[in-house]
Chains A and B, each alone.
Chain A
């Protein structure tokens, strides 16, 4: 079956603009995660959705970052008033219920803020 897909694959924006990054998880996966990977760094957890529960937003770095998951499927990560330090690869992953299950990752969106 299809894996996790993300769009766009690359996004270049100007400082101060808003951006939306999209993630389509694997069908049937109830858990969805967003991570940020800066150059030469590991993955930084941003947010975790599990079914209909309130999301775990503890990793969001500022109130400029928000995410939604509609209908328990597609998710959108929004970054408002982008800053140069927001430049990174944003990875989405999905899994069957529970973080102890294997996470299947998308190819990521490379965001460049000029």
Chain B
């Protein structure tokens, strides 16, 4: 069974600084997708970024980028120029061709 591990329950960053959230996963599949979702206090889950495993190039969405290391089964999220609105729970998720498997989340605190 696939598992997703987020080892950082909570991270802090100051506005305008950069922070990296860690995620590792375990799978025997070769084709899969990885996601980072953001859940602000409103509870609404929002997709931040998606990575296809067959693509070597790391995905980027504006201030958000990933460091995808397939051999190491690592998928970290880097947030550049952090903003107060980035404060939320961040969930890493794995998808083969069945259900999504989520990590336990990392709470990101952003201070002025």
User: Which A residues are within 8 Å of any B CB, using their own CB?
Assistant: 33, 35, 41-45, 48, 56, 58-59, 89, 91, 93, 98-100, 102-103, 105, 107-108
The 10 closest A-B pairs by CB, nearest first: A105-B45, A43-B102, A42-B104, A42-B102, A100-B33, A45-B99, A99-B95, A102-B47, A108-B43, A42-B105
B98 in the interface (beta carbon within 8 A): yes
A48 & B99 in contact (Cβ 8 Å cutoff):
yes
Chain A proximity of B59: nearest CB distance (Å): 13
Identify 22 residue pairs between A and B in the complex whose beta-carbon atoms are under 8 Å apart, listed by A's number. Answer: A33-B99, A42-B4, A42-B6, A42-B102, A42-B104, A43-B102, A44-B102, A45-B99, A45-B102, A48-B99, A56-B98, A58-B99, A93-B45, A99-B96, A100-B52, A102-B35, A102-B47, A103-B100, A105-B37, A105-B44, A107-B42, A107-B44
In the complex the two chains form, is A107's CB within 8 Å of B97's CB? Answer: no
Q: Smallest CB-CB separation from B31: which chain A residue?
A: A100
> Among the listed A45, A100, A108, which residue makes an inter-chain contact with B101, where contact means beta carbons less than 8 Å apart?
A45
| B100: A residues at CB distance < 8 A | 33, 43, 45, 99, 103
**Which residue of chain A has its CB nearest to the CB of B104?**
A42
Cα A45 to Cα B1 in complex, Å, equals 13
List of A residues within 8 angstroms of B47 by Cβ: 102-103
Which chain A residues lie closer than 8 Å to B98 at the CB level?
48, 56, 99
Contact A100 B97 (CB under 8 A): yes
